[in-house]
A and B are shown apart, each in its own frame.
Chain A
C-alpha cells in the first residue's frame, strides 16, 4: 500500500482549473454578441463571383435576393433551371414585386426609403436573369443595388 503513497510528494501540484469557467464564459459572451442567426434558408446554389473593388453593405437597410440553380437536394423537385429566391421561398419573376414589398416592410420604418437590394447571385447564372431582376427593381423604384461578391480577383485568383 505504501508503495503508491511514496510517489506523491515528488509529483507536481494539480493545476487549478477554478478560472476555467470564467475564461469559457468570456468566450461564450463574445460569440453570443457576434452571432447573427441565419435568417434565410438557402434554397439555391450560391457561389458568389470574386471582386476586389468593393463596398460594405449596410445590413439594417437591405433586402436580399438570391438567384441560382436549385440546391442539389431540391433539384429533383424543381429542376435545374436557375431560380430566384426571396426570403424563404422561390419566387417567380412576375411575383418579385410582391415579395420585395413584403420583405421591405420587415425593415425599420425610417429605413424603408433608403432600402438597398443585395443581389446574391451564383456565378454560373446568366446575366439575362440579373437584368430581368433589375428591370423589376426599376419598376418598383428600388434603385440602389449591390452585387454581393467574395474577396478575390478573377484575373489572378
Chain B
C-alpha cells in the first residue's frame, strides 16, 4: 500500500489569528487596582450610656461647606492637619506615676491635651455639602498620622515598619501559618499602642 503523504497545513495565518485575539484581550483588559481606605461602621444600636470623654481628650476637626478646616477652633490648612493630629495623639499628658501614664509617648506632655493615645479620640464633623474629595483628604491625613506613630513604635519594638509588614501580610508575602500568626500578634500589639479612634458625627445640615 502506498501511503499518501498528507499535505502540510499552512500555518502562516496562525500569527494573524493570534494577533487578532491578542488585540481583543488587550482592549478588554482592566487590571484590577482597586485600593482604598477601609473603615468599620459603628453598629446600629441605641447607646444607653454614652461614654464621657473629657474635652482635652477630644480633637475636633470641623469641615465646612466650602471645604475649610477648623481644627480645635482654629482655622487650619490641610497640610498642617497631619502634624497637628500626631502632636495630639502622641501628647501623653497624664502625669507620670498615674495609671494612665504613657511611657512611649514622645509628645509635649501638655496637661491640657490628650492623656494617652488610648484615650485620645479624633472627631470629624462634616457639613452635608462638604465635597467628597475633601472628606477623603481629611480621612487620609488622619490615617497617615496614626500610621506614622505606629511605624515609629514598631520600629522601636521590632525593627520594622508597621505599614510595610501589614502590606506584606495583605499581599500574601508572609509564608507559613506560624509566621503569619506571630506577625499578626505583633501587629496587634502595635495597634494597641495607638488604637484608631476616629469618630464621625452626623453631618449638620448646611447653614446650621
Contacts and interface: CB of A to CB of B under 8 A. Distances in A.
A127 B25 contact: no
B78 A154 contact: yes
Q: With a 10 A CB-CB cut-off, give which of A31, A144, A151 has the most chain B CB atoms.
A: A31
Contacts of A51: 36-37, 136-137, 139-140
B44 A138 contact: yes
A35 B131 CA distance: 34
B79 interface: yes
Contacts of B130: 126-127
Given A123-B136, A125-B131, A149 B36 contact: yes
Contact of A145 (B14, B41, B170, B202): B41
A74 interface: no
B18 to A, nearest CB: 4
Interface residues on A, range: 35 or more
A53 B22 contact: no
Q: With a 10 A CB-CB cut-off, give which of B137, B140, B203 has the most chain A CB atoms.
A: B140
A154 to B, nearest CB: 4
A21 B170 CA distance: 38
A57 B128 contact: no
Interface string B115-157: 0000000000011111111111101110110010000000000
Nearest to B41: A143
A10 interface: no
Interface residues of B, number: 50
Given A28-B25, A31-B29, A130 B135 contact: yes
B29 A125 contact: no
A36 B131 contact: no
A17 B126 contact: no
Interface in A1-22: 17, 20-21
A155 B35 contact: no
B10 interface: no
Contact of B132 (A21, A49, A118): A49
A127 B132 contact: yes
Given A59-B32, A127-B128, A127-B130, A53 B39 contact: no
Q: With a 10 A CB-CB cut-off, give which of A20, A49, A127, A145 has the most chain B CB atoms.
A: A127
A122 B130 CA distance: 13
Interface of A: 17, 20-21, 24-25, 27-28, 31-32, 34-38, 49-57, 59, 116, 118-119, 121-128, 130-131, 134, 137-139, 141, 143-149, 151, 153-155
21 contacts: A20-B15, A28-B22, A31-B22, A51-B136, A51-B137, A51-B139, A119-B36, A124-B132, A124-B133, A127-B63, A128-B129, A131-B126, A134-B41, A138-B44, A143-B41, A144-B39, A149-B37, A149-B140, A151-B35, A154-B78, A154-B140
Given A31-B29, A124-B133, A131-B202, 4 more contacts: A28-B18, A127-B203, A144-B39, A148-B34
